[in-house]
Amino acid sequence: MKYSLQDLKLKGQKILMRVDFNVPIDEDGSVRDDTRIQLALPSIEYVINQGGRLILISHFKRPNGKKDPKLSLKPIADYLSKLLGKPVPLAPDCTGPEVEKMVDQMQNGDVLLLENVRFYMGEEHPEKDPEFEKNLAKLGNVYVNDAFGAAHRKHTSTALLAHHFPEKNALGFLMEKEVSFFSKLIRNPKRPFYAIIGGAKVGTKIGVLQALTDTIDAIFIGGGMAFTFMKSQGLSIGDSLCEDEHLETAQNFLKTCAEKAIQVYFPTDYIIAAEFSNDAKRQIASAKEGIPATWRGMDIGPDTIEHWKKVLKQGSTIFWNGPMGVFEFSHFAEGTHSLAVMLADIGSTVVVGGGDSVAAINAMGLQKSFTHVSSGGGAALEFIEFGHLPGLDALTDR
């Protein structure tokens, strides 16, 4: 168990807090989706109310170790100022004499946002610039990690800074909430426990699929990855997405499920299209009869949706990661949308594991209808697969 933000003495302290403000920003500088900023607010407001001097650290996009004014955190500093109702100045850099002077002049309850840490090569590649870590560490005397979405990365601000503050580091409230939900999921879920896994590729999810076999009672496989499984069972998939190099992986996974008496549900029908386009000619195809040559599967079909809904209603705990089809095309979004609406109203514990499934839920305005919607897709999957994360491991145990 790690220390929580509430375990630390914060008054008058300089708190380095890693947050994840990598949010979509329009060309005019306006924040398009502030979900990640909103999720960090409880920790930020707590530090302000406790009289801490808060120094926020975040990355934004991929400047690859070079300063790029287009990737500045200035729009986020302005947005956060409005949310908090108080000035949040943006430091001109992440480290250096000017930044140190700004930190020294801070009063209790003040907030300062450092410039994009990925402007430095030392953030993503600590071994290439060890001075960056030292210079960042000397800005504070307490470290808090509230960036679950970046906690799976072994970067300076996510996994190394904590070591400079033994016994004076902690999880922020968002990190604590995420870790609590995923720990329960992999250690002690209320049963029956079902997983719905979608998305494009088996290769990127096989570790998670295998880890889930230790706890799940049934799994529902949709999205593009279903076609690799379908082909591995000798069914025709036409021009659908398929990873031929993972056909044996798919077969081995199904063997594991059979050995552990885990029920596996595949789509029984698909919405198929003559080409990869929202306006393509489309029809329904039975999975058993196969998808005709030159056609491709784009979404789960109506029979699948109805059948899955009936079974899923029996689940006490449900984990969902990945869309069921090409949901960014409106004509192939029904599978993902129907499941989202049903899961939002099911009354069971439903945890959504980041990525595109969260994007779909946000687009439908359903994010508050689930037990937990994770702020980090990659981090959520890595935590399920390995049971720990670099950003978590770095923090002091109680």
- Report, as residue numbers or ranges, the catalytic residues: 36, 201, 355, 378
Tokens of 110: 């003040």
Residue 5: phi and psi, rounded to 5, are: -50, -35
Dist. CA 7–CA 372, nearest whole Å: 24
Is 316 a known ligand-binding residue?
A: no
Residues 56, 186: Cα–Cα separation, whole Å: 31
Integer Cα distance of 343 and 78 in angstroms: 36
What is the C-alpha to C-alpha distance for residues 344 and 373, in angstroms, rounded to an integer?
Answer: 11
Is 398 known to sit in a ligand binding site? no
DSSP E strand stretches across the chain: 14-18, 53-57, 111-113, 142-145, 169-171, 193-197, 218-221, 263-265, 269-273, 282-286, 296-300, 317-321, 349-352, 372-373
Determine whether the annotation assigns residue 321 to a binding site: no
118 is in an annotated binding site: yes
368 is in an annotated binding site: no
Cβ contacts of residue 307 below 8 Å, gap of 6+? 265, 268
Instruction: Tell me whether residue 32 is annotated as binding.
Output: no
How many other CB atoms are there within 10 angstroms of residue 282's CB atom?
Answer: 18
Query: Would you say 297 is a known binding-site residue?
Result: yes
Is the preceding omega at residue 75 within 30 degrees of 0, hence cis?
Answer: no
Largest CA distance in the chain: 71
The annotation status of 22 as a binding-site residue, yes or no, is yes
Place of tokens 């029920």: 263
Known binding residue 372? Answer is no
Spatial strand order in the sheet of 269-273? 282-286, 269-273, 296-300
User: Does 356 appear as a known binding residue?
Assistant: yes
Strand positions, DSSP E, 142-222: 142-145, 169-171, 193-197, 218-221
328 is known to lie in a ligand binding site: yes
Residues 6+ apart with CB under 8 A from 181: 351, 371, 372, 374
191 annotated ligand binder: no
Is 62 known as a binding-site position? yes
Q: Which residues are annotated binding-site positions for substrate? A: 20-22, 36, 59-62, 118, 153
Residues comprising the binding site for (2R)-3-phosphoglycerate?
Answer: 36, 118, 153
Known binding-site residues equal 20-22, 36, 59-62, 118, 153, 205, 297, 328, 354-357
Residue stretches of the annotated binding site for ATP:
205, 297, 328, 354-357
